Amino acid sequence: MIRVLLVDDDQELTAMLSEYLEREGFETSAVHTGEEGEIEALSGLYSIVVLDVMLPRLSGIEVLRRIRARSQVPVVLLTARGDNIDRITGLELGADDYVPKPSSPGELVARLRAIMRRVQPGDRHTCEVIRSGPLVLWPGKRQAQWQGRELGVTSTEFSLLEELARSAGQVVSKQDLSLNALGCPLTRYDRRIDVHISSIRQKLGPRPDTKAWIQSVRGLGYLLIAE
């Protein structure tokens, strides 16, 4: 059973979402303040967190910052429609995805399922190891190692790294990255891929020649240097 934590001060909305999610096979709990959201998200009891950005007192962005300081539990942000600043800030802080408000419960369910499919891969990946230069990935365990040390990445960052590592030395289009790593088609003006890749680059650091390990190929996509 996938356990979902809803963090939103709109109690009518959380009641409606809880009812819908439970009909779809999820187990849900809801809290209505940022302080409660932080405590529950860090409890280890939940598979994924749905976090509203516009919370009173302690904002959703600050809650996300505190969660990411101690946990890689998947987080989906609820953001105001058209509010690109909060969306980009959230992705930079390690959110796995966002859903605009208002949106259909069906869209939220689709995003949750896409993330959980990535977090809980099939048995065929259990013993698989992917190596590309100093990068080693264990898809079955969702673990990453960089230059011999554990690499702390979110579930979405891991999925992007996996797609790039499987095609190391070759360009992977943004559309393919979006479909295979995010579970949804790329839409116009969608910056999710770019923001996640930027975060991964910072974690990998520069190459000895000062260039990035993940190269942008204008108009085509991204390439992970294989060496």
pLDDT at residue 198, rounded to an integer: 93
Q: List the strands of the sheet with 171-173, edge to edge.
A: 171-173, 221-224, 214-217
Q: What range defines the domain where residue 84 resides?
A: 3-119
CA 66 to mean position of chain CA atoms: 16
Domain co-membership, 113 together with 9: yes
Give residue-wise pLDDT tens across range 88-108.
899 999 999 999 887 789 989
Give residue-wise pLDDT tens across range 117-154.
887 755 445 578 999 999 999 988 888 999 999 998 98
The values of phi and psi at residue 105, to 5°, are -55, -30
Q: CB–CB of 160/181 below 8 Å?
A: yes
Which of 78, 95, 119 lies at the terminal end of a domain, its last residue?
A: 119
Which of 119, 152, 178 lies at the terminal end of a domain, its last residue?
A: 119
Which residues are bridge partners to 37 per DSSP? none
CATH number, domain of 196, equals: 1.10.10.10
Domain co-membership, 47 together with 78: yes
Domain co-membership, 146 together with 209: yes
CATH number, domain of 81, equals: 3.40.50.2300
Domain co-membership, 171 together with 184: yes
Domain co-membership, 182 together with 84: no
Domain co-membership, 115 together with 127: no
- N-to-C CA span, the chain: 41
Domain co-membership, 99 together with 133: no
* Numbers of helices and strands, H then E, in the chain: 8, 12
Q: Does the pLDDT value for residue 223 go beyond 90? A: yes
145, 146, 183: which is closest to 163 by C-alpha?
A: 183
Domain co-membership, 160 together with 92: no
Domain co-membership, 140 together with 104: no
Domain co-membership, 57 together with 149: no
- Distances from the Cα of 212 to the Cαs of 8, 12, 74, 207, 219, in angstroms? 38, 46, 26, 6, 18
Euclidean distance between CA atoms 116 and 102, whole angstroms: 22
Put simply, whether the predicted model's pTM sits higher than 0.85 gets the answer no
Task: Work out the angle at residue 46's Cα, subtended by the Cα atoms of residues 41 and 51, and round it to the nearest 5 degrees.
Answer: 50
Give residue-wise pLDDT tens across range 51-85.
999 998 999 999 999 999 999 999 999 988 667 78
Q: CB–CB of 2/47 below 8 Å?
A: yes
DSSP symbol at 151:
-
Give residue-wise pLDDT tens across range 10-50.
999 999 999 999 999 999 999 999 999 999 999 999 999 99
Q: Does the pLDDT value for residue 174 go beyond 70? A: yes
- Other beta carbons less than 10 A from residue 17's beta carbon: 22
Domain co-membership, 91 together with 137: no
Q: Provide the CB-side half-sphere exposure for 30 (13 A, CA).
A: 16
83, 25, 35, 82: which is closest to 55 by C-alpha?
A: 35
Q: With helix as H, strand as E and coil as C, how does 86-105 read?
A: HHHHHHHCCCCEEEEECCCH
